[in-house]
Structure formats: structure tokens, C-alpha cells
DNA sequence: TCGGCCCTTTGTGTATACAGTGAAAGGAGT
DNA sequence: ACTCCTTTCACTGTATACACAAAGGGCCGA
């Protein structure tokens, strides 16, 4: 794998998991030293992160990790609903029904076995499979591209929520409903089920952040020592 | 302005205006020599173009100008309608009505004076102003970002259409209807007017390309000699 | 004459050197 | 003591050098 790819994936992961907090300065020389590559791959990685919106140039301070406010949360979900409703509807109209029928059954099965912590990991992987299936079966590469560009931001938001078992179970049922509607070839119902799921998800996220103006992850993250070095 | 910015803007413009045809190989050393900068800014420019989807890596052939098929045309308009309907609706709900009232009057005025060729330029600039107004007044930075990422592809498609005066006049009326609906604060009507405009626009584009499997610009473009050098 | 192997050339990926600019800190003057 | 100016440092932007990989062509052998 190329060094620029490694730098990109590592920085991306660290931003999504909040190990690199919003506002952290991503100086080229510092990151190059930390990641063990030269400045050139780091520059390419930062370019890609800026194109995704995970990083931004902040005046003269250089490249910083993008901020994430309650306003961002609401705007991201507004766009997400628009895109995912359309994708679900198109997949219901054009997609491979058997694929979503299988996903439907997997979600029903996952709901019953969401007790163990390792099952939560598997559940998130299943959600990712449904996302990928909608991307592919909606038959619109540009719509899928927009959704893929949106997803890293949503993954970052996910870390804000507490993983309450009852919410995960409800989420599984909502995903099952989406998959069922797509499998039935019902675009209107698929879009409606998407709205239902996203409304519940947004409400849960809002509740997790109740009162706070600035967003912060649910479980405090083991902070790296690098930002103190970067002073 | 930075050299990488100049390289990016020039390559972008040449791709949008079809002076760099789809499939053209964008070799780093070749473009560096042609644009009068070194490989480093060219690399950054190519990265940005690939992030936008205007260029893509094609196996071992390196970076090439992205292809554009009839399928792309239809998928781009499908996504465009989804995003612009939402943006128009949000702008109608939240936006500054006076701004769209003024744009409405400008479109009515433009329709009456679309005879001179320089008026066509001014008309396209006015369309750009409406787009920018929707971006800003929809109150959703992520939606605006998605729209801005979509627009270079649409600009490339625009070159496929013949600028027939009657179509431009109809387009002006359709844009006026959108601006009026937003100015009236009517989200449903704004979305509907957007669908009306895009349907007519897509139909006109399809008609301009009737019968051809591969897309080509309406007026043959003065081809650069560079692709023959790049063999 | 045809096929296979080797060599050369071209292009990308990475590292590093150099220059220009902006910011911050310290010293001097009022 | 405070403010302003100067100097220095650090960072980005750009250029270039080097290594490695692949593809194409030419040559040699069968």
C-alpha cells in the first residue's frame, strides 16, 4: 500500500474516532514525523481530507480538523434524509429484491442478539452492508458518491451517541423496516421508513447532547500526547 | 495566486469546455511542462480534479479526463433534481425573500432581451447568481457543498446543448418561476418549479444528443495539439 | 519468420532541499 | 511601564532528485 494511502486512512480514522479533536492543527512536518513518512504523502492525505470536509484550512493557522456543531448535526441529517430517501426509493424501484430480503432477515436476527458487546460491532457492520447495498442498487453512481462523501461525517457523529441497548434494538427494527420496504419494491414506503429511522436517530443524538452547545463524544477518548507536543 | 491553484483552474476549465476530451491522459510531466509549473502543483490539481470526479485514475494508464455518457447525464439530473428541489424548498422556507424577488424580475427582464450573443453570457451569469442564492439561502452548508460539487459536471453537460433562442427564453421563464416561488415562501411550489425546469432541460439535452451513444459537444471544439503529443 | 526474453524508456511515488512569507517574541525608545 | 519596531524562527509552497515499476520495442534464437 502506498504511503499516502496509509497516512490518509490513519488520519481519517483518528478524526472519525475523535482521537484528533476538532480544531487540532495538522501541521505537515509534525504529522510526517508522527506517521513516519515524508511531507509529500502527508500533503496528499490532507488534500483528500479537506476535499471530504473532515479538515479545513483555517486562515493562517494551516490545516485543522473540522469543527462539528449542533448546527452541523442538523444540516448533515437534513441532507442525509434527502439523499437516503431517494436512494431507498430508487433501490426499491430498480434493486435486487433478494439482496434486501436477506438483509431484512439479518436485521431481525441481529435485533434478538444485541446483548454481547461484540454483537454491537457486528451490528454496525450490518448497517454498513445495508448502506453499501443501497449505494449499489440505487443505480445512480453520483447519488452513491454523494452518500459516500457524507458518511465519514455521520460516523464521526455516531461517536457522540451512547450505545444504549434499547436504542440499538429499535434501530435494528427501523433498518429491518427499510430493508423490507425495498425488498417489497415499494419506493414510497422505503422513503418513509428512512425518514422514520433518521428522525429517531437524530432525536437520540440530540438527547445524548442535551444542553451542550459544543459537541463531545459520549465516552471521553484517550487523548494522544501529540497535541501537547504541537503547542 | 498559487501555482497549484492556477494549474487546477486551468485544467478544470479545459475539461469543462471540452478542450480536454474525455479519456485524455493527464500525465504529470506533460501537464507540468504545458502549464509551466513543476509536478508538485500539478499533482495537487489532479488530486482535486479526481475528488470532484472530473478526472479518474484508469488502471495503469494514469489519470484521465472522466468520461461522460448518456447514463451519466440521466444520473446527474436525477441527483440534481433531488438536491435542487430540497434547496429550493428550504430557501423558500428560510431564505431572504427580497433577494429572490429581485432575481425573479431580472429573469423576466433577461427573457425579453436574449437576442444578442453577449446577452446569452449575461443570462448564464444570472443563472449562476440564482444557483449561488439558493446555495446560501437554503441554510444548509452541506447541501450547498453537494450542489457545488455537482455543478462542474452540469457545466460540462451544458456544452452538449445547442443554444437555441426559444429554449433559452423558456429556460428564463422556468427560472423566473422558481425565483418567484421561493420569493413567495412556497416550498412545495418552489420544488415543483424546479422539477418543471429540470425536466425541460433534460429533455432538451436528450434531444440535442438524439441517436448518439457517446456524448459530444454541439459545436466542435478547437482541439489542442496536446493529445497527439501525448500519444 | 515468429516468438520469447531482455533492455530501455517513461511515468509515478517518495524524499528532500530551498525560498518566501507571516507570526511571534524580545529589545529599545518614549 | 507600555508600545512599536526589528529580527528571527517556523511553516508552507514549489522544485528537483532518486527509486521502482511497467510497458514497449528490439534483438536473438529456434
Task: Give B142→chain A minimum CA distance, Å.
Answer: 6
Residues A53 and A106 in one domain: no
Same structural domain, A87 and A169? yes
Confidence grade of residue B210 (pLDDT, cut at 50, 70, 90): low
Residues A8 and A108 in one domain: no
* B63 and B74 fall within a common domain: no
Same domain, B105 and B175: yes
CATH of the domain at B125: 1.20.120.530
B153 and B56 in a common domain: no
Q: Residue A117: what pLDDT?
A: 79
Question: DSSP string covering chain B, please?
Answer: --HHHHHHHHHHHHHHTTSS-TT-B--HHHHHHHHTS-HHHHHHHHHHHHHHTSEEE-GGG-EEEPP-BHHHHHHHHHHHHHHHHHHHHHHHHHS-HHHHHHHHHHHHHHHHT--SHHHHHHHHHHHHHHHHHHHHHT--HHHHHHHHHHHHHHHHHHTTS---HHHHHHHHHHHHHHHHHHHTT-HHHHHHHHHHHHHHHHHHHHHHTTT-SB---SSPP---SHHHHT-
Tell me, in Å, how far CA of B151 is from C1' of C23? 38
Query: Is B148 inside a domain boundary?
Result: yes
CB of A34 under 7 A from strand D?
A: no
**Chain B contact probe: residue of A77, A82, A143 with most B CBs at under 10 A:** A82
| Residue B17 included in any domain | yes
Contact A55, A16 (CB under 8 A): no
Nearest to B140 among A43, A78, A141 (CB): A78
- A157 and A193 fall within a common domain: yes
Section A86-114 average pLDDT: 95
> Same domain, yes or no, for B223 and B123?
no
**pLDDT reading at B36 higher than 70:** yes
Domain range spanning residue B164?
70-208
What angle, 0 to 180 degrees and rounded to 10, lies between the N-to-C axes of helices A165-183 and A97-112? 160
The answer to whether some atom of strand C lies closer than 7 Å to the beta carbon of B28 is: yes
- The answer as to whether A215 is a domain residue is no
Does residue A230 surpass a pLDDT of 50? Answer: no
Task: Tell whether the model's pLDDT for residue A226 goes beyond 60.
Answer: no
A contacts of B43 (beta carbons < 8 Å) = 44
CATH number of domain containing B50: 1.10.10.10
Whether A164 is in a domain gets the answer yes
Predicted confidence band at A102 (pLDDT cuts at 50, 70, 90)?
very high
Does residue A42 share a domain with residue A122?
Answer: no
Q: What is the pLDDT of residues A137-189, one digit of tens each?
A: 999 999 999 999 999 999 999 988 877 889 999 999 999 999 999 999 999 99
Residues in chain B with CB shorter than 8 Å from the CB of A48 are 47, 51
In terms of domains, do A156 and A105 share one? yes
| Residue B105 forms part of a structural domain | yes
Residues in chain B closer than 8 A to A82 (CB atoms)? 82-83, 86, 143
Categorize the per-residue pLDDT at B228 as very low, low, confident or very high, splitting at 50, 70 and 90: very low
Domain count, chain B: 2
Asked whether residue B213 is domain-assigned, the answer is no
Is B214 among the domain residues?
no
Amino acid at each position: 500500500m502506498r504511503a499516502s494511502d496509509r497516512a490518509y486512512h490513519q488520519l481519517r480514522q483518528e478524526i472519525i474516532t475523535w482521537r484528533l479533536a476538532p480544531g487540532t492543527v495538522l501541521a505537515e512536518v509534525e504529522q510526517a514525523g508522527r506517521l513516519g513518512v515524508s511531507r509529500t504523502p502527508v500533503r496528499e492525505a490532507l488534500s483528500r481530507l479537506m476535499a471530504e470536509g473532515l479538515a479545513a484550512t483555517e486562515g493562517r493557522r494551516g490545516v485543522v480538523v473540522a469543527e462539528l456543531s449542533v448546527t452541523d448535526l442538523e444540516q448533515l441529517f437534513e441532507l442525509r434524509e434527502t439523499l437516503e430517501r431517494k436512494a431507498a426509493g430508487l433501490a426499491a424501484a430498480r434493486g435486487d429484491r433478494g439482496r434486501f430480503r436477506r438483509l431484512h432477515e439479518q436485521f431481525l436476527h441481529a435485533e434478538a442478539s444485541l446483548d454481547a458487546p461484540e454483537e454491537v460491532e457486528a451490528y454496525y457492520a450490518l448497517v454498513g452492508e445495508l448502506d453499501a447495498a443501497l449505494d449499489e442498487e440505487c443505480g445512480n453512481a453520483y447519488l452513491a458518491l454523494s452518500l459516500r462523501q457524507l458518511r465519514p461525517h455521520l460516523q464521526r457523529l455516531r461517536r457522540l451517541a451512547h450505545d444504549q441497548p434499547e436504542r440499538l434494538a429499535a434501530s435494528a427494527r427501523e433498518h429491518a423496516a427499510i430493508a423490507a420496504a425495498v425488498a417489497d419494491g415499494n419506493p414510497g414506503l422505503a422513503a418513509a421508513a428512512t425518514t422514520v429511522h433518521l428522525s429517531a436517530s437524530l432525536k437520540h443524538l440530540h438527547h445524548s447532547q442535551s444542553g451542550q452547545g459544543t459537541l463531545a463524544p459520549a465516552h471521553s477518548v484517550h487523548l494522544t500526547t501529540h497535541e501537547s507536543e504541537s503547542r
